[in-house]
Amino acid sequence: LLLSWLLAEVSLWAFAPQSRSISYQDRYGLGLHYPGVTRYEPRFGHDVTINSAGMRDREHELAKEPGVFRILVLGDSFMEAVQVPYQGSFPSLLEQSLNELTDRTSEVVNAGVSGWGTEDQLRYLTYHGIAYQPDLVLVMMTLHNDISDNLREQWYTVGQDTLVAQNRPPIP
């Protein structure tokens, strides 16, 4: 029985490799990428690389260079874009286009994670994204699921015309 199980495992590993996850949920439920991970995605035929800050992006220093216009992109799987090589993703194409079309140096930081709704994006911005000193934050929504994600009211609720954090410990 053990030998059969071992043979099945080796066969699956060799002939039908399964992709290992590049993301996890922190102890408060926020989906994040494992920092510094590179995984080959057999479904799409390319590697997916996560930088040291847990973003599907190249490395970015927290402090931006003088004169650089920095855009932080928040979104879900459409911004994470594991289906395409990173150079074909919206954040990469946006940075390339801005730098070709304007006289100003632009830097686009991709903070998209599959499964995020706008609540997740706000939580990430508040605890992590603001440290990148963005000049502009783009909130990218997928209308078919982000509205329903918000209805769960996981971390925030509306009270007296303002967002009120639920009784959850803050992310350090």
- Contacts for 13-20: CB closer than 8 Å, 24+ residues apart: 17/42, 19/43
Residue 139: the pLDDT is: 94
Contact criterion met (CB below 8 Å) for 34 and 53: no
Residue 13: the pLDDT is: 72
Q: Which residues of the chain have pLDDT under 70?
A: 16-20, 149-172
Q: Strand 156-159 vs strand 23-25: parallel, antiparallel, or unpaired? A: unpaired
Q: What is the DSSP letter of 167?
A: S
Q: Residues with Cβ < 8 Å from 168, sequence gap 6 or more?
A: 28, 155
In whole angstroms, give the CA distance from residue 153 to residue 119.
Answer: 8
